[in-house]
Structure 1
Amino acid sequence: MLETSFLTAPEHVAIIMDGNGRWAKQRGLPRTMGHRRAVETVRQTVRTAGDLGIKYLTLFAFSSENWRRPEAEVSDLLGLLKAFIRSDLAELHRQNVRIRVIGDRVNLRSDILKLLLEAEETTRANTALTLVIAFNYGSRDEIARAMMSLAKDVEEGRLRAHDITPALIEARLDTAGIPDPDLIIRTSGEERLSNFLLWQAAYSEFVFLPEFWPDFSRELFLSALEKFALRDRRFGGLSAQAAAVNT
């Protein structure tokens, strides 16, 4: 469970894992070494989330824009994903971790798609931490696919346009059934969402860290959670203190 110093425990933490290439460049290493070091950071972060009682952890593993990177780097990233699933799936399963993959699966390589489906199916009944892997994911694309799905239902008479609600839209998103992130963390000093969970982040808290992802430690994770615990989450309403004054 969470350390007693935390006032509020987030149910869902999402992380934009940024800075692998710059971490490697600072050390005179090829970018691929930054990605390889990042995999160990993923393992450590998943363990920490489980230890702290967080129920959902979403990791931005590979965006739909990452295909634009050099072919050799993309190949290495895909190889690391495959290696992670092959080597860690059994251990995650033993830890009662459920894996959920979000992102566009159309035209994915058959070997990658097979591994992702295997990871989801193997861990489907697990009930501890849900590890959400955003792979080939872009939030604008996700929203567009949801809109096309609803539009098709309208065209075919299963739905009326004026009956579309935010709840119906959420049910067509890749994250259907997953609570919105309470906290979004981004490493590397960048302070933007980069097409990540745009709909779901409407009321998320943000913590931006200067450290690159390979240096993201348990201590930095705890520090981000401490910052989150001090936030006054009003969701458009009044804070508890202000509400008391106005009663």
Structure 2
Amino acid sequence: MKNPTHISFIMDGNRRWAKKRFLPDIAGHRSGALNIEKILICASELEIPYVTFYTFSTENWSRNEVEVSDLFNLMREYVLSNLSKFQEDERFIFKIIGDVEKLPIDLQDSLKKLESISKEKKQYTTTAIFAINYGGRDEIVRSVNKILSQKSENNYQISEDDILDNLDTKGIPDVDIMIRTGGNQRISNFLIFQSIYAELFFTDTLWPDFSKNELHLIIDEYKKRVRKYGK
């Protein structure tokens, strides 16, 4: 089997990584953010066209206000401090999915800048997708509401294609591999419409420690699997 087209990551374990080192939670999140770049570079080297990172879920708002604020500050800091580097790096373009309008305005502006630097790139290898204020069910509800706002017929029957065309991931292939770090074995409302035939991989490795070597091993295992798509 050839390399996957789309890999998604549930990046679990940042807080536990920090706790093991007697560090504050934000130190784990910061280390996790640095690891995103390492894994993204590996994906580009492997010529994986799409990589999606579950960055902040719709459920994460239930965390304490200090941690949520720290996470948003980290996003701002990371994006703004790396804009020039990302602009010059021809390997990647960037896309944000999720209900971004509920984020702080200045963070929205930072994320728009990250997406905007992608527009002039022509020879990129990998699209890096960041799911921020994202939930799979929320995405489907938003997709259906978009369809309803576009259709005037009272008896219009919504199709699967209608939903696909109004998802945040419109035009992006379904997920081939979904990887969750940190030991838990669930998909936690992540890309539920797009992952119906994803190969699932769960690892005890905490996200900041997830390595290029482990990604290579997962892809090697993926290539051994037979994907029948219900046939």
- TM-score (ref. length: structure 2): 0.94
Cα offset, 1:93, TM superposition: 2.6
Cα offset, 1:160, TM superposition: 5.4
User: Is the 2:101–2:108 contact (alpha carbons within 8 Å) kept by the matching residues of 1?
Assistant: no
In structure 2, which of residues 137, 161, 169 is the aligned counterpart of residue 140 of structure 1?
A: 137
Rounded to whole Å, the distance in 1 between the matches of 2:9 and 2:229 is 21
Does 2:96 match 1:101?
Answer: yes
Identical residues among aligned pairs (%):
37
Counterpart of 1:4 in structure 2 is none
SS in 1 for 2:83: helix
In structure 1, which of residues 51, 64, 75 is the aligned counterpart of residue 45 of structure 2?
A: 51
Counterpart of 1:169 in structure 2 is 163
- TM-score (ref. length: structure 1): 0.88
SS in 2 for 1:65: helix
Cα offset, 1:11, TM superposition: 0.8
Moved over 6 A (4+): none
Q: Deviations over 1:72-130 (max 9, x none)?
A: 11111111111221122322232221100000023321101101111111112433210
Counterpart of 1:19 in structure 2 is 13
SS in 1 for 2:102: coil
SS in 2 for 1:185: strand
Q: CA RMSD in A?
A: 1.4
Amino acid at match of 1:136: N
Rounded to whole Å, the distance in 2 between the matches of 1:227 and 1:160 is 47
Rounded to whole Å, the distance in 2 between the matches of 1:124 and 1:58 is 19
Rounded to whole Å, the distance in 2 between the matches of 1:208 and 1:140 is 22
Q: Deviations over 1:27-55 (max 9, x none)?
A: 22221111111111111011111111000
Amino acid at match of 1:89: L
Unaligned stretches of 5+ in structure 1?
Answer: 1-6, 238-247
Amino acid at match of 2:89: Q
Counterpart of 2:57 in structure 1 is 63
Rounded to whole Å, the distance in 2 between the matches of 1:78 and 1:142 is 21
Does 2:108 match 1:129?
Answer: no
Does 2:188 match 1:194?
Answer: yes
Amino acid at match of 1:45: I
Rounded to whole Å, the distance in 1 between the matches of 2:197 and 2:156 is 26
Cα offset, 1:231, TM superposition: 1.0
Counterpart of 1:219 in structure 2 is 213
Closer, same or farther: CA 110–89 of 1 in aligned 2, 3 Å? same
Cα offset, 1:151, TM superposition: 2.0
Unaligned stretches of 5+ in structure 2?
Answer: none
Alignment: residue pair count: 228
Residues 82-101 of structure 1 correspond to what in structure 2 (within 5 A)? 82-96=76-90, 97-101=92-96
Rounded to whole Å, the distance in 1 between the matches of 2:76 and 2:106 is 9
Cα offset, 1:64, TM superposition: 1.1
Counterpart of 1:114 in structure 2 is 109
| Structure of higher CA gyration radius | 1
